[in-house]
Structure 1
Amino acid sequence: MRPGIHPASRPVVFRDRAAGTLFLIPSTATASKTIEWEDGNTYPLIDVEISSASHPFSTGTARVVDAAGRIERFERRYGRRPAPSRG
């Protein structure tokens, strides 16, 4: 890597607002807020809306959409329409 062209990486605390979880990880992001961490040091704080702690895919609460079931339910309700004639 060429010296002097990359931003400095330092520890930053990310707070997941949905789950209330805190993550201390290296980042180049800047923040105006700070927080005191468990080790007694003060780090920049960045609030995020979704992280691995609250995302449905990561937590296992994601719903699987059953497209075939939805189509069958639609056809039961409204009947099957004839295919358009091509000719």
Structure 2
Amino acid sequence: MTTSEIDDSILSVLGERWKKVARVVVEVAQRTGGTSASQSDNYETISQRIEALVGDGRLEAQGNIKNWRFSEVRRSESGHYKSSQ
């Protein structure tokens, strides 16, 4: 799966409401259909793409997004980078 396809999948599961990063990672992993042997790598790749989308301003974040269970993301309303860590 390409980076662009992963990004599209991440954006497709998000809207204006905040979602836990852990939930987004699992939902995207289910959509992209990684094998169980590579699931850990798949999760890490998705997490890295979430970080990149936050950095690009396409997503907003609350909390430290490296701590999946205690952080949230949503689509950026203005397209500007917003993060409250």
Query: Which protein has the larger Cα radius of gyration, Structure 1 or Structure 2?
Result: 1
TM-score in same-fold range (> 0.5): no
TM-score normalised to structure 2 length: 0.20
Q: Which of the pair is proportionally richer in strand? A: 1
Structure ranking higher on relative contact order (CA contacts 8 Å, 6+ apart):
2
